[in-house]
Amino acid sequence: MLSGIALANGVVYFGSDDKNVYALDAATGAKKWSYATGGAVESGVSVSGKTLFAGSNDGHVYALQV
């Protein structure tokens, strides 16, 4: 299952129940990076400025520089 997505600066960001947050190139679909969390990322992700926020079922909110 995927979380809600965010699109910013040509990159699609989303979380997954495989405990990762992903960044894909919006034009090509190529994976740019992934970040492992301690739990499923079922909630939506949000981008503000150059920071991506993602809540995980491990009880943490991750703030990742993008």
Q: List, run by run, the mean pLDDT of 10-residue segments along the chain (66 residues).
A: 89 97 98 98 94 97 97
Q: Domains in the chain, please, with CATH? A: 6-65 (2.40.10.480)
The CA distance from 66 to 58, in Å, is 22
pLDDT, position 49? 95
Kindly report each contact of residues 44-53 with a partner whose C-beta sits within 8 Å and lies 24 or more positions away, as own/partner.
44/3, 44/4, 44/5, 44/6, 44/15, 45/3, 45/4, 45/5, 45/6, 45/13, 45/14, 45/15, 45/21, 46/6, 47/6, 47/8, 47/13, 52/6, 52/13, 52/21, 52/23
